[in-house]
Structure 1
């Protein structure tokens, strides 16, 4: 009997030890897998460092690249394209204006009626139609694309009260074209390359305004393409219409770009330009900016290598809405490969661009206690069900790191522009006055695009970084003015205004 009791006790002890070993083993494995995930996040944070010191290095690099791009063709990663626009609207414009906007996967047609008095709500004075560009048209031929655009305009005009006279009434048109173009005049420009998913090879090297004009003629429309303008120039015009202190415009949406007002004598590569205002709007094409000071991670390197345009648009790939969601996807995939915190590896995690930035933003800004929106998106997009709350919090952290880096780099780019034109308190890249000696003028930067206007945390991080870089005393003179997106037409409203202003 005694031996039996001892045997049972030994058996129980062994079983207890075995259970304890299993429990301990599970805890060790659990700790190990969470440590692996934490290591991935820590490496991401280190790789995305945007300390004020680094940002100021980016500011200096941006200003220097701008100067180099103005000095000679091909002298910089920034194209610094001339627009031949020196007159910006001021609210005294009168008449009916037409504009087309081709800026991405959507195309807009609009008509604007101006009374000659500044209007605080331009969107109330505009009629607009928006149409998606069929995917096959985005990769078809020049003729197919511009026939589609011309047909859309014809249908738009036909809906007007006098639309029956579409072939008789002469109209003039402003064309917003949001792709890199070498401007030859205010109404002509040669396409340098396509971006944003377009790939129409027979268009490159051709005058896009002439291509549109030919399509309008084919459709029987007596419409003259009187102005070809980049969408950033349109944004600057809207800003200047409302506030004459506007000196630069930034678009931060699916893609990103910037333009600003430059002194004619600073445009060294085109000596002898005669502009009555003594200045010209320069389209920077800043998406292609690059500097060794930009904090690049392995995720950026892989994204770039797998993109249709490797080693191109490096700045855009770090800050624009087209790419932020995919950077987050790549980090989640890395964590899934390193551990099983997300369960079995979902094949959807290997699909490029399956996570769109608006959904990434929704996860980032999920303020519910259990992060329900994060769980829903991970399930709906990646087919990863039942993600633990701890893992959901890590996903939010990843979104935060990627977004914060993007916003702060965009802020450094903006301050770089201000430095180039002497509006950062330093007197410009060749100025010698100290910040204390420099009397800062009120300086407005117009910003447009869904990433900035709809993503509140991105906007907050960008504004915060501008203040950090400039310092409070200088930053109080710099106003970042968001442009309303209550109507899709707003971006293109001023382009047709150029038609008559420039033609005078």
Structure 2
């Protein structure tokens, strides 16, 4: 296999351009360690108070699943286009099974009011329970449900949270500033469904729970996909803003750990530590949220293809690529899908035929040369490598905060998302960088595993944990 930076037939000008790019996109070990230091400082700030780059949101999940729990739980996953209703059966011995159904959210429902919107969700739950013969009987009592609500919520307990704002094309009236759990519970009651909304769940917290049910040593749930985020178990004593709250003041003596939803896509929005290039700045400036989610824009699937497209167009403008010619398709923002990068980087054929197909048949560029194709592959390779190394720095930051666990034993990180699952060598590059930052001995204690469906299975497990926490609290009161 030839080096991805080997460009046959390249001119001096082309080789110089690649070298310059390489300098801009290469992250040395020292730079990675500086990013880790910056990350750890930001984590402490976010745990101290609200309004920081890292939101560090308490999830109110205060216990770990053991993998031995059994029972049947429901999960609702409300995304941008679909509502998914799931029934998850926890079978013990870290095993579970899932039955699920998807419902497309009608446009008129997305622009309706609170009552119409939540009644529609309750109808979907009713249809699911009827279709699958799962309606709980009076003797069974209420089935606990975990609600993954992928919008900005101010959470105040494991089953309380008010909507801060809508996005993803939703404009449902009468929901902002109100508790989405109560609105859903009221709608379920109107349909006479024996379902109790016991947990409001962020999908990364769910990814951590799915991983923790299967691997009790799990410390983190991470998403490296279209977007990126992470949740992890933090020591309760290190969360001043929770300790100062009513919930914290009551529980701090009895709680060892709590899961924190980091919202780490917002790291370094001031661009002080991250190696931001002109291409990153260009992409950032043209988004709907400039100077926000800066870290996410450097590593996630939604933006990586667009950063690549900006680099390619600059090479075209300098007449170093495609003889200075572009195409209507390549000129279109976000036309260079991150999935194309995966295909291009994986192409090991002598003539780079897959790269040719992507450029000529998909992006409709005029006839390309082998040098063109190799140059495009080199750009994709460098940006993918940078994304994986930046991702490793983020992981290392959390691991460094929990060295108490890492030094004792192996730690599991449950990871979901297309970048981790499908991007060629992403995991390999990530692990190599982890070794550079933390040293072989500590890095070898870190086990990464694919943890899929945090928003379904994970939400059901959070509902189980919430149920467990409520029973423990009741026992505590009666003791």
Query: Where on the TM-score scale, by shorter chain, does this alignment land: which range?
Result: 0.7 to 0.9
Distance 1:312 1:145 in 2: 29
Match of 2:264 in 1: 286
Match of residue 309 from structure 2: 329
Compute the displacement of 1:258 (Å): 0.8
* 1:147 Cα offset (Å): 5.0
Q: Residue 247 of structure 1 corresponds to which residue in structure 2? A: 219
Equivalent-residue separation in structure 2 for 1:418 and 1:264 (angstroms): 16
**Please, what TM-score do these two structures have when normalized by structure 2?**
0.85
Aligned: 1:80 with 2:56: yes
After superposition, what is the alpha-carbon deviation per residue over 1:57-77, rounded to whole angstroms, capped at 9, x for unaligned? 011111111111111222x31
- Structure 2 residue 391 is the aligned partner of structure 1 residue 410: yes
> Shift in Å at residue 354 of structure 1?
1.7
Change (3 A) 1:340 1:453: closer
TM-score by length of structure 1 reads: 0.81
Which residue of the partner structure matches residue 381 of structure 1?
A: 362
From 413, 421, 445, the counterpart of 1:453: 421
Q: In the alignment, which residue of structure 2 is the partner of 1:119?
A: 94
Greater Cα shift, 463-472 or 441-450: 441-450
Name the CA distance, whole Å, in 1 between partners of 2:204 and 2:158.
15
Aligned residue runs from structure 1 range 403-442, under 5 A? 403-423=384-404, 439-442=407-410
Structure 1 distance, partners of 2:115, 2:298, is 33
TM-aligned CA distance change 1:484 to 1:99, over 3 Å: closer
Partner of 1:61: 38
Q: Structure 1 363/201 Cα, relative in aligned 2: closer, same or farther at 3 Å? A: farther
Residues 58-67 or 141-150, more deviating: 141-150
Task: Name which of 225, 228, 238 aligns with 2:200.
Answer: 228
Aligned 8 A contact 1:424 1:474 in 2: no
Distance in 1 between residues matched to 2:410 and 2:169, nearest whole Å? 39
Query: Retained in 2: the 8 A contact 1:67–1:420?
Result: no
Q: How far apart, in 2, do the equivalents of 1:469 and 1:161 lie?
A: 52
Gaps of 5+ in 2: 1-8, 244-248, 472-479
Per the alignment, do residues 87 and 133 of structure 1 end up closer, same or farther by CA in structure 2, a change over 3 Å counting?
same
How far 1:182 sits from its partner (Å)? 2.0
Counterpart in the other structure of 1:432: none
Measured at CA, do residues 101 and 164 of structure 1 come closer, stay the same or move farther in structure 2, by a change above 3 Å? closer
Matched residue, 1:23: none
Q: How does 1:305-384 map to 2 (within 5 A)?
A: 305-339=285-319, 341-343=321-323, 344-384=325-365
Quote the residue 1:471 is aligned against: 439
The answer for the alignment partner of 1:189 in structure 2 is 161
The answer to whether the 8 Å contact 2:413/2:447 transfers is yes
- Post-superposition shift, 1:105? 4.5
Question: Which sits farther off after the overlay, 132-141 or 355-364?
Answer: 132-141
**Correspondence list, 1:270-285, <5 A:** 270-271=242-243, 272-274=249-251, 276-285=254-263
Q: How big is each residue's C-alpha offset from its partner over 1:318-352, in whole Å with a ceiling of 9 and x where there is no partner? A: 11111111111121222222217325321222222
SS at match of 2:72: strand
Could you tell me how far 1:138 is from its partner in structure 2? 6.0
Kindly indicate whether the alpha-carbon contact (under 8 Å) linking 2:221 and 2:232 is maintained by their aligned counterparts in 1: yes
Residue 300 (1) aligns with residue 267 (2): no
Q: Please tell me whether the aligned partners of residues 238 and 493 of structure 1 are also in contact (alpha carbons under 8 angstroms).
A: no
* Structure 1: unaligned runs, 5 residues or longer: 1-30, 426-438
Question: 1:52 aligns to what?
Answer: 29
State the match for 1:436 in structure 2: none
Could you give the per-residue CA deviations for residues 190-219 of structure 1, whole angstroms, max 9, x where no partner exists?
234556x44548554433323433444565
User: Which of 1 and 2 has greater Rg?
Assistant: 1
Task: Tell me if structure 2 keeps the 8 A contact 1:328–1:399.
Answer: yes
How far off is 1:467 after superposition? Answer: 1.1
Q: Root-mean-square deviation (CA), in Å? A: 2.9
Alignment deviations for residues 132-171 of structure 1 (CA, whole Å, 9 cap, x no partner): 55677667766665455444323222212255989x9843
375-384 or 458-467, larger mean C-alpha shift:
375-384
SS at match of 1:497: helix
CA distance change for structure 1 residues 421 and 99 in 2, over 3 Å: closer, same or farther? Answer: same
Q: Report the counterpart of residue 480 of structure 1 in structure 2.
A: 448
Which residue number corresponds to residue 96 of structure 1?
A: 72
